[in-house]
């Protein structure tokens, strides 16, 4: 493979969330996009990227801050969701590169939020559910959360769990582990 065909964007998002029911009129919105570029040919992670996203229809709850470390003041410095999608497309070649996430939540959240806001969907349709492939590679009966998968693979959890940036970095390590087991493939081309 030549060019960018061996580069993969690993994405992890954090979104507004609440302990219990969603407040009236609020919706779960992406507030952080973590991205790590993986070079599958060189078998390396190429650095952490972070895009803070300013929510338009919700606020960061105390529960969300405890979970993610993100505050309302911090995400208020971010870009709007449509601008975040444009950054993914222009700065990270999201429309050209295949991409991966841990599970299918991130892909579905982008599809839903793009539809709700009329933002252009930034990604190619070559998505891999790394959680599914990890379960297959290790012949697990139950799919693991990211932290559990790192433990099974003998890899350290680097940084803060539930930080999109750190989680993307850790998921990228799991992607390389899966690829090293010759189990990497695209799982969704819709």
Residues 135-157: tens digit of each pLDDT = 999 999 999 999 999 999 999 99
Q: What are phi and psi of 160, to 5 degrees?
A: -100, 125
Over range 2-31, report the average pLDDT.
89
Over range 5-18, report the average pLDDT.
94
Domain-wise residue ranges, the chain? 3-180
DSSP state string for 85-112: HHHHHHHS-TTTS-EEESSSHHHHHHHH
Q: What is the pLDDT of residue 177?
A: 98
Model confidence, pTM: 0.95
**Residue whose tokens read 């087991």:** 181
Q: How confident is the model at residue 189 (pLDDT cuts 50, 70, 90)?
A: confident
Q: What is the pLDDT of residue 22?
A: 94
Share of the chain above pLDDT 90, in %: 94
Three-state DSSP class for 84? helix
Query: Over 60: is that where the pLDDT of 33 sits?
Result: yes
Q: What is the pLDDT of residue 75?
A: 98
Q: Give the integer Cα–Cα distance in Å for 180 and 177.
A: 5
Q: What are phi and psi of 122, to 5 degrees?
A: -85, -15
CATH number for the 3-180 domain, one of 3.20.20.70, 3.30.1050.10, 1.20.930.40, 3.30.420.10? Answer: 3.30.420.10
Cβ-proximal residues to 88 (8 Å cutoff; 6+ apart), any chain? 9, 33, 35, 51, 94, 122, 123
Count of C-beta atoms within a 10 Å radius of residue 79: 15
Tens digit of each residue's pLDDT (9 = 90 or more) over 78-95? 999 999 999 999 999 999
Mean pLDDT score of the chain, rounded to an integer?
95
Query: Over 80: is that where the pLDDT of 1 sits?
Result: no
Query: Over 80: is that where the pLDDT of 5 sits?
Result: no
């Amino acid at each position: 493979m030549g060019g960018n065909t061996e580069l993969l964007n690993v994405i992890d998002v954090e979104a507004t969330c609440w302990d219990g029911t969603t407040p009236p009129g609020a919706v779960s919105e992406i507030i952080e996009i973590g991205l790590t570029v993986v070079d599958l040919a060189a078998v390396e992670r190429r650095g952490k990227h972070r895009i803070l996203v300013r929510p338009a229809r919700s606020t960061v709850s105390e529960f969300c801050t405890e979970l993610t470390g993100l505050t309302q003041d911090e995400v208020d410095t971010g870009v709007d969701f449509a601008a975040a999608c444009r950054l993914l497309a222009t700065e990270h070649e999201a429309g050209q590169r295949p991409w991966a996430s841990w599970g299918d939540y991130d892909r579905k959240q982008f599809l839903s939020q793009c539809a709700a806001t009329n933002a252009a969907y930034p990604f190619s349709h070559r998505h891999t559910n790394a959680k599914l492939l990890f379960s297959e590679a290790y012949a697990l009966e139950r799919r693991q959360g990211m932290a559990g998968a790192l433990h099974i693979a003998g890899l350290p959890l680097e940084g803060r769990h539930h930080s999109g940036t750190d989680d993307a970095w850790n998921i990228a390590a799991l992607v390389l582990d899966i690829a090293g087991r010759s189990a990497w493939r695209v799982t969704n081309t819709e």
